[in-house]
Every structure is written in structure tokens, then in C-alpha cells.
């Protein structure tokens, strides 16, 4: 576990000094929210219907920009090669990256959510506390898969373009569950339990697969 | 010998396709409710079965490649060729399904497209395997096969989740005609026989293309290997 801790502290320290990922994500997500509210001009009931989708898609687009940097940052000075030679299990390094990025995206969400409520004049009609389940579960699905695919696409041409191309199709069911659960909570018209369970299942399945296959991807020759 | 048997098989396939077309258009009776338009089932359903089968072949190829890439490099190359052929030909058949489906839906439902469980699953499946093929294009070098195999496994993992999520969400596609206990399921014998002929013909056609694609990829691999050896031999 010490390797996990070392990598996590290193990633957090880099982010603390540069604040690249959080700032770019925050501004990008804010832009998407503003663009959507200008494009659709949402009013009370309609705003509640689409708000969940807008929030999820904004976070999805924003995190791709940060996830692209997650491993690309390590290419400079051949850090990636050094890590490949180090005897640490890849799974720990992967988990450290996921935890760090999960934290960044969660911070962005925490800042963005109040702005969002103001822009869309939202009142939560369902059980608001369930959002504290839905958003972390959805974020985990996004960040775990995104970190994995970022490592997968790191050595290809056009890697910044390739990441969304391979991440989005796989992420579709999680996005659907996240959007429907958020919508159900905001409108209070249906029960989000099924979608929360589905998100949890998705997280378990894909996190397990990522942990098992990460070494294969990381050491691919 | 190999060439002769493949040509013979191709000839049989073409004959089967002609026979299947004849059965579907001239022999099968009109559907009681849908009239002529239902005949699209003779192309639509076999293509869907072929596409799903070939995506399964892709999964087998991916797992086989990952399992044998260190110890049996030659076998791994064969697995990789099967995986590529399965994904590529599967995407083509999946495109046929996604084209013929809306043609039928426009007449039967009055709409081209609906976000129903089976339609969405097929579309997402198509997207996943197109992204698999894109990865093979973008990622260069020998590591590409490993990365593609991992993505193939992820894609296959996603399929049941997509299907279940959409099932819970909404379902409009006609209930399965076969292997179902729902009332009204099943097919009259006069329609079933043409259907089975078409199933056989489209499968034979799909397998023919699959084998050809496999051989093309094997040739490409062998040429690439020879070129690499020649480059090494140069002083």
C-alpha cells in the first residue's frame, strides 16, 4: 500500500502547486453550463427535467480534459518509463491516480453545484441527500474508466482525441443511470434506487476489470 | 486446395443467397397485419444474429490473444486476426441491422428511430466496436494488439449492462419471436422455412467474408514480419 500512498501524495502535491486540472475543469464545466442555459433557456419545470443531464455532460466533458493530462504529465523526462521499470504493482499506481482524479472532480462538482442551482433556478423536489450517493458513484465510474483508457491511449497518435472516442461509448450506461437518477431526485417523480444500484454495479464490474487488466495495458510492448 | 475449397464454398453461398431471396420474396406469404414490409425480417434478424455472433468471436480472439501472447506468439497472431475480422465484419452486419431496422420502423411504427432497449443496445454496440477499430488505426506498433484486446474485453463487458439499463428504461421493439413464451410468439411454418433458409444463407455469407478478412489480415501480418526481419538483417 505504500506505493499507492506515495503516488497519491505526489499527484496531490503536483496539483496543489499547479492547480492545472481543477482550474481547467472548473472553467470548462462552467462554460458548458452557461452555454447550455443560453442555448435552451430553461424555465422552472423544464429546467428540472434537463438539469441532471446538463450537469453530468458538463462534468463528463470537463473531466476528459483533466484525464488526458493524468498520464501525459508523466511522459516528460521519461517518468512513465521509470514507473514501468519500478517493481510496484500497476494496480496500486492506477488506484492512486483514480483517487487523485476522483478528488479533483469531486471538488469541481462541489463548487459547481451551487452555481448550477442558481443558474437553473432549481429546487430539489426529491430526496436531496441521495445526490450524495449518485454523484460520487457516477464520478467514480467516469474517473476509473477514464484513467484506465487514458493509460491505454497514452502511446497512440492523437491520444487527446482518442480518449473520448473510446471512453464515451463504454460510459454510456453509467451516464444514462447517472442522468436518470439525478433527474428522478430533482423532479421527485420517481424512485432513483434502481439507478443507484446499477451505478454501484457498474463501478464494481469496471473497477475490478481495470485493476486486473491495468498491468497488461501499462506494460504493453 | 485451400483456394479451391474457398471458391467452392463461395459458390454454394451465392446459390444459398439467391435461394433465400427467392424464398423470402416469392414463397413466404404476406404478414396478416404488416403486409409486405415484414419481409425485411428475412434480412434484418439474420444480420443481427451474425453481428452478435461475430462480436462474440472478437471477444474470444481478444481473450485468446492476451492469454497466449507471451508463450505462443504465432497462435496469438492468429487470435488477433480473428478478433480484428470479427469486429470489422460484425460492424458491417451491425450497420445493415441499423439501416434495415429504421426502414421497417418507419412503416410499422411510423417513426424512424426510438430509444428502445434493443435499438439502443445495438447502436451502443456499434459505437463500441467502431471505437475498437479506431483504436487499432490510431495506436501504432506491436502494443496496439494488446491495447485493442483489452478494449475488446471492456466492450464485451459493457454489452449486458447496456442491455439491462435500457430494458429498465423503456422497451418498444417487438418482443422476441423465437424462444419466447409470450402469446403471439412463434412463426407459421410457411414463414419459418424461408426464414431458416435466409438464416443459413446470411450466416454462410458472413462466415465467407470473415474467413476472407482473416486471411487478408494473416497475409498482412506475415508481410510485416518478413519486412521486420529484412530490416534486422540489413547491415
Question: How close, in Å, is residue B210 to chain A by CA atoms?
Answer: 24
**Once rounded to an integer, what is the mean pLDDT over residues B137-162?**
87
Q: Which residues of B touch A173 (CB under 8 A)?
A: 124, 158, 161-162, 165
A216/B150 touch (CB, cutoff 8 Å), yes or no: yes
Asked whether the predicted pLDDT for residue B223 surpasses 90, the reply is yes
**Once rounded to an integer, what is the mean pLDDT over residues B55-80?**
92
* Chain centre distance of CA A147: 9
Count of domains observed in chain A? 1
Q: Which of A15-24, A184-193, B123-132 has the highest mean pLDDT?
A: B123-132
Distance separating alpha carbons of residues A97 and A8, to the nearest angstrom: 7
Among A169, A184, A192, A217, most B C-beta atoms within 10 A, so best to mutate, is A169
Q: Which residues pair with B31 in a beta bridge?
A: B35
Where are the domains positioned within chain B?
A: 2-173+187-233
Asked whether the predicted pLDDT for residue A1 surpasses 90, the reply is no
**Cα B116 to Cα B52, B167, B169, distances in angstroms:** 18, 8, 8
Q: Which residues of A touch B153 (CB under 8 A)?
A: 209, 213
| In contact, A80 and A154? CB cutoff 8 Å | yes
Q: Which residues of A touch B162 (CB under 8 A)?
A: 172-173
Which among B195, B196, B79 is positioned nearest to B148, based on CA atoms? B79
Which among B140, B143, B146, B98 is positioned nearest to B121, based on CA atoms? B98
B135/A169 touch (CB, cutoff 8 Å), yes or no: no
Looking at per-residue confidence, does B91 or A122 come out higher? B91
* Chain centre distance of CA B34: 27
Of A166, A177, A180, the CB nearest to B151: A166
Grade residue B208 by pLDDT with cuts at 50, 70 and 90: very high
Looking at per-residue confidence, does B80 or B193 come out higher? B80
| In contact, A178 and A197? CB cutoff 8 Å | no
Positive or negative: CA dihedral A191, A195, A198, A204: negative
Question: How close, in Å, is residue A209 to chain B by CA atoms?
Answer: 8
Strands (E), chain B: none
Phi and psi based region of residue B208 (left: phi greater than 0; alpha: psi -120 to 50; beta: remaining)? alpha
Distance separating alpha carbons of residues A187 and A46, to the nearest angstrom: 10
B146/A220 touch (CB, cutoff 8 Å), yes or no: yes
Q: Which residues of B touch A158 (CB under 8 A)?
A: 138
Distance separating alpha carbons of residues A6 and A12, to the nearest angstrom: 10
Distance separating alpha carbons of residues A175 and A142, to the nearest angstrom: 9
Asked whether the predicted pLDDT for residue A158 surpasses 90, the reply is no
Of B128, B140, B146, the CB nearest to A169: B128
* Chain centre distance of CA B233: 41
Grade residue A85 by pLDDT with cuts at 50, 70 and 90: confident
Of B139, B150, B157, the CB nearest to A155: B139
B143/A221 touch (CB, cutoff 8 Å), yes or no: yes
Nearest CA in chain B to A155: B139
Which pLDDT belongs to residue A131? 85
Nearest CA in chain B to A221: B143
Q: Which residues of A touch B155 (CB under 8 A)?
A: 169-170
Looking at per-residue confidence, does B183 or A65 come out higher? A65
DSSP one-letter string for B122-190 = HHHHHHHHHHHHHHHHHS-STHHHHHHHHHHHHHHHHHHHHHHHHHHH---SPPPSSS--STT-S--HH
Which pLDDT belongs to residue B67? 92
Question: How close, in Å, is residue B146 to chain A by CA atoms?
Answer: 6
B127/A169 touch (CB, cutoff 8 Å), yes or no: yes
Length of chain A: 221
| In contact, B165 and A175? CB cutoff 8 Å | no
Tens of pLDDT, residues B32-54: 677 777 888 888 889 999 999 99
Q: Which residues pair with B35 in a beta bridge?
A: B31
Judge whether B70 is closer than 8 Å to chain A, CB to CB.
Answer: no
Asked whether the predicted pLDDT for residue B172 surpasses 60, the reply is no
Nearest CA in chain B to A209: B154
Q: Which residues of A touch B128 (CB under 8 A)?
A: 169-170
Q: What range does the domain containing A80 cover?
A: 2-218
Q: Which residues of B touch A166 (CB under 8 A)?
A: 131-132, 134-135, 151
Distance separating alpha carbons of residues B93 and B212, to the nearest angstrom: 15
Amino acid at each position: 500500500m505504500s506505493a499507492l500512498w506515495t503516488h497519491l501524495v505526489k499527484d496531490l502535491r503536483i496539483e496543489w502547486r499547479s492547480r492545472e486540472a481543477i482550474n481547467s475543469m472548473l472553467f470548462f464545466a462552467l462554460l458548458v453550463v452557461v452555454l447550455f442555459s443560453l442555448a435552451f433557456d430553461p424555465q422552472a419545470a423544464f429546467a428540472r427535467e434537463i438539469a441532471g443531464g446538463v450537469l453530468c455532460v458538463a462534468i463528463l466533458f470537463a473531466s476528459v480534459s483533466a484525464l488526458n493530462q493524468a498520464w501525459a504529465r508523466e511522459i516528460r523526462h521519461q517518468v512513465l518509463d521509470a514507473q514501468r521499470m519500478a517493481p510496484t504493482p500497476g494496480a496500486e499506481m492506477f488506484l492512486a491516480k483514480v483517487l487523485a482524479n476522483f478528488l479533483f472532480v469531486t471538488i469541481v462538482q462541489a463548487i459547481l453545484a451551487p452555481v448550477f442551482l442558481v443558474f437553473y433556478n432549481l429546487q430539489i423536489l426529491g430526496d436531496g441527500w441521495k445526490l450524495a450517493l449518485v454523484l460520487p458513484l457516477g464520478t467514480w465510474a467516469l474517473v476509473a474508466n477514464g484513467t484506465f483508457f487514458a493509460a491505454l491511449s497514452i502511446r497512440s497518435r492523437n491520444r487527446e482525441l482518442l480518449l473520448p472516442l473510446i471512453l464515451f461509448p463504454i460510459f454510456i450506461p453509467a451516464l444514462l443511470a447517472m442522468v436518470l437518477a439525478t433527474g428522478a431526485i430533482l423532479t421527485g417523480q420517481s424512485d432513483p434506487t434502481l439507478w443507484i444500484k446499477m451505478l454501484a454495479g457498474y463501478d464494481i464490474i469496471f473497477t475490478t476489470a481495470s485493476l486486473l487488466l491495468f498491468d497488461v495495458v501499462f506494460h504493453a510492448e | 486446395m485451400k483456394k479451391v475449397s474457398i471458391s467452392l464454398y463461395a459458390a454454394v453461398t451465392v446459390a444459398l443467397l439467391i435461394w433465400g431471396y427467392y424464398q423470402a420474396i416469392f414463397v413466404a406469404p404476406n404478414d396478416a397485419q404488416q403486409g409486405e414490409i415484414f419481409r425485411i425480417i428475412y434480412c434484418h434478424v439474420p444480420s443481427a444474429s451474425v453481428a452478435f455472433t461475430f462480436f462474440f468471436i472478437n471477444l474470444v480472439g481478444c481473450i485468446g490473444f492476451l492469454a497466449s501472447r507471451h508463450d505462443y506468439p504465432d497462435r496469438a497472431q492468429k487470435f488477433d486476426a480473428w478478433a480484428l475480422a470479427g469486429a470489422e465484419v460484425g460492424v458491417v452486419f451491425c450497420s445493415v441491422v441499423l439501416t434495415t431496422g429504421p426502414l421497417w420502423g418507419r412503416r410499422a411504427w411510423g417513426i424512424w428511430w426510438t430509444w428502445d432497449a434493443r435499438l439502443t443496445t445495438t447502436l451502443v454496440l456499434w459505437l463500441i466496436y467502431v471505437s475498437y477499430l479506431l483504436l487499432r488505426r490510431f495506436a501504432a506498433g506491436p502494443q496496439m494488439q494488446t491495447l485493442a484486446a483489452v478494449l475488446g474485453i471492456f466492450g464485451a463487458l459493457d454489452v449486458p449492462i447496456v442491455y439491462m439499463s435500457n430494458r429498465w428504461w423503456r422497451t418498444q421493439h417487438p418482443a422476441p419471436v423465437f424462444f419466447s413464451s409470450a402469446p403471439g410468439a412463434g412463426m407459421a411454418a410457411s414463414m419459418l422455412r424461408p426464414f431458416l433458409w435466409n438464416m443459413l444463407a446470411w450466416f454462410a455469407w458472413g462466415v465467407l467474408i470473415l474467413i476472407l478478412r482473416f486471411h487478408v489480415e494473416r497475409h498482412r501480418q506475415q508481410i510485416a514480419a518478413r519486412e521486420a526481419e529484412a530490416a534486422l538483417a540489413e547491415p
